[in-house]
Structures are given as C-alpha cells and as structure tokens.
Amino acid sequence: MTSTEVTGDVSSGVTVHDSLGQRVLFVDKSVYVATITNLYTEGFTMCIDLTAVDYLALENRLLPAGVVAQRFEIVVNLLSLVQRERVRVRVQIADGESMPSLFDIHPSTEAMEREVFDMFGVAFDGHPDLTRILMPEDWDGHPLRKDYSTGRIPVQFKGAAS
C-alpha cells in the first residue's frame, strides 16, 4: 500500500489514508451511512462507483493500523464537482454480512448495489429492489466470488477426432 500520510481517529470508526493524493476513508460498517451522509453535506454529491472486492486469497493484505481485514470490501467512490476532489470509502465486511443501502442518499447506487448483490452475494438492507441484474433469476451462485467454480464446457473442433 502506497502511503504518504495516515491520519484519523480509529475510535470514531473512520481511518483516513492518503493514496497518491486521493483521500481514502476506511470506515467501520457501523458508521458507513453516517460517513456517506457527512460527505454528501460536505459537497460529495456524486457517487461515481460502488463495487466490491473479494479478498478470499489475501487475508493478510496490508491495511492501515486498526482496520481489521475481512473477506469482502465495499468500495464507494464519491466526487465533489465544486471542490474538484474525489474521495474513496472502503468498508470491510465478512462473508454472509449485509450492508445498509445508500439509495436514500445517492439514488444512483440502485443498479450498483444490485450488481454487487448479483456478482458477490452481498445484500444491501433497505434497497428498494434487490434482485439480480446481470444473471438470470434462477442462477446458482455469484460469479465474481473467488470460490465460485468456473465449470467446464467441452469444446469440439470441426474435423477433429472425438
């Protein structure tokens, strides 16, 4: 992890980290919605992206002091057009946990949260329509999880001996 400065009060549930000039907030799940709300009032009114990362194989990854690594990480990128600044919010969550929805603060997250649910299996409490968005409704599993089996489809070439 490249870092030039780490500040913030871990006891408040937010650790501030500087990554190549961009502010990154490592937020505890318990203050996730409050942090996003505060950022909104500070001018970060545009949610550029909301996604997840599965760190199944990287349990010992480097994180700021006081941040406990979990299997999944929710990553939210916010933009302030007035301040011409971006901020990234990262939240660690364990397998099987759900997250509060940001739909009431940023309605644009509706499809993004559905995609995270569909691809990773992370549910968002309070989401208005948490259904699959990319995979068929009867699909088993979540394709972007590291433990998802890729399966195998045999390929037959024309003229090749079978």
pTM of the model: 0.85
Alpha-helical (H) ranges within 31-142 are 32-41, 109-120
CA 88 to chain centroid: 10
- CATH class of domain segment(s) 5-125: alpha beta
pLDDT (tens digit, 9 = 90+) per residue, 119-160? 999 999 999 999 999 999 999 999 999 999 887 777 777 776
Residue 57 region, left (φ>0) first, then alpha (ψ -120 to 50), else beta?
alpha
pLDDT (tens digit, 9 = 90+) per residue, 62-107? 999 989 999 999 999 999 999 999 999 999 999 999 999 999 999 9
State how far the Cα of 75 lies from the Cα of 69, in Å rounded to an integer: 14
